Amino acid sequence: MDQEAQTGPAGSEIYAPTALRNSLSDHLGPRGLRPVRAVQRILAVDVGGARPLQLPRGAAGLRVERTCFLASARVVEIVDSVYCCDVHDIVDALGPSVETVGGAA
């Protein structure tokens, strides 16, 4: 998606670099674009040798791939991230009402 604002139903702005303050779902919800379903895959990966991470070969990591969908089955979010296992934890909160767990939502 380019840096220009994109529009959704009735011309609602759904993307602008300065529009997001916290949660993407909180930003999209009032515009009628809150994701209702997601498919997430978490894989163990070798992150060693990845230049930005500056880790030795064989270093363990987690790759998170997530695709979120609207009720219409249209994709509204795609995530592809890699995390170092020794410095991150991942908390998945599933469902329309998310409780905070250990300070993370």
User: Tell me: the pLDDT tens digits for 16-74?
Assistant: 656 677 777 777 888 888 888 899 999 988 887 666 767 777 888 888 999 999 999 99
Is there a domain that residue 102 lies in? no
Number of domains in the chain: 2
Residues 83 and 39: their CA atoms lie apart, in Å, by 18
Is there a domain that residue 26 lies in? yes
Is there a domain that residue 95 lies in? no
Structure tokens at 19: 């529009």
Domain check: are 15 and 50 in the same one? Answer: no
Tell me what pLDDT residue 73 has. 93
Domain check: are 6 and 29 in the same one? Answer: yes
Closest CA to 82 of 47, 40, 37, 34: 47
Domain check: are 51 and 79 in the same one? Answer: yes
Q: Contact 28/7 with Cβ under 8 angstroms?
A: no
- Residues in the chain, overall count: 105
Tell me what pLDDT residue 26 has. 78
Domain span holding position 73: 35-89
Domain check: are 39 and 81 in the same one? Answer: yes
Structure tokens at 68: 């979120």
Q: Contact 50/27 with Cβ under 8 angstroms?
A: no
Backbone Cα Rg of the chain: 16
Is there a domain that residue 96 lies in? no
Provide the whole-model pTM: 0.63
Residues 100 and 32: their CA atoms lie apart, in Å, by 24
Domain check: are 29 and 66 in the same one? Answer: no
